[in-house]
Structure 1
């Protein structure tokens, strides 16, 4: 066998043993999109595809409202709003150089008082 044929056969050969399975992780503290979609599907009696469409539509509505300068109130959870930030001075890490951070906007969330009391 030549070197080139050895290389071809070794790549095509199946692996002898699969890698050992990773140990099970502890339950994550983050609730991701897939978990939320599954919960919506279960509670509303929808398919996962329909629940994903509802979730995506809700996100689009919230983003569009915030871009339009409106606040979004979610009863029992809180309120999203957009606030302006002023131009300010900062320090570049590592060089200690003074820099000007430009004015901008940020999204704020104010938690509902009944949720805050129940945490």
Structure 2
């Protein structure tokens, strides 16, 4: 028997043909159309705010930067920020806990801390 005859090409083809059949079985409709949309960055937000509010790019940039700075300062101070029609940002305390270090399975102690939580507005949630 030669090396070329040892290869089982017919067995490999059905396995390859099964993979597309499984992929075809999954409906593409489950993937939301919004998944194709990329993230909007700060410069895009500046352009959008400037266009809608009739502001220059510089004024829109100043307004957005100031808004983000004020929001950051408020969250650092532990305040809750309500954004009508969007949701609420708040600071939540996290408890100390035991975790597992990836790769080594070594148990480590994770200290208590804080995190920013977001609760979506019900109107926005319904419209998504």
What TM-score comes out, normalization by structure 2 length?
0.71
Structure 1: 5+ residue runs without aligned partners?
1-26
The 1-side partners of 2:67 and 2:38 are apart by 23
1:85 aligns with 2:94: yes
What TM-score comes out, normalization by structure 1 length?
0.76
Q: Secondary structure at the match of 1:108?
A: strand
Structure 2: 5+ residue runs without aligned partners?
1-35
Q: What is the number of equivalent residue pairs in this alignment? A: 93
1:55 aligns with 2:60: no
> C-alpha deviations, 1:25-61, integer Å up to 9, x for none?
xx75101111100001101111101100000000011
> C-alpha deviations, 1:43-98, integer Å up to 9, x for none?
11111011000000000111111111110000000000000000000000111000
